Amino acid sequence: IVVSEWNEKITGALLDGAVTTLKKHGAKDENILIKTVPGSFELTFGASQMMEYCELDAVIIIGCVIKGDTPHFDYVCMGVT
């Protein structure tokens, strides 16, 4: 799991839910890798690094972007997708 540190109140709750769900369906603690990145924009880089350097079955990315009055939301969303 790659999770954004920005807006930790939201991303932390989403992370807790993802880990709980994985465990509920049989994933073992030692098989759940969690790496953090500063913000949502860095999620794709963090995911690509995990895919390159770790033996994985799947990658889950968790981030949060809040739309405000500036185009920042659009730039981050375009960069991540």
Q: Residues 34-70: pLDDT tens digits?
A: 999 999 999 999 999 999 999 999 999 999 988 888 8
What pLDDT is attached to residue 66? 85
Catalytic choice (56, 67, 72, 78): 72
Distance of CA 17 to the CA centre of its chain: 12
Distance between CA 23 and CA 34 in Å, rounded? 14
Q: Is 25 a catalytic residue?
A: no
- In this prediction the pTM is 0.87
d(CA 30, CA 37): 20
Q: Model confidence at 71, in pLDDT bands (50, 70, 90)?
A: confident
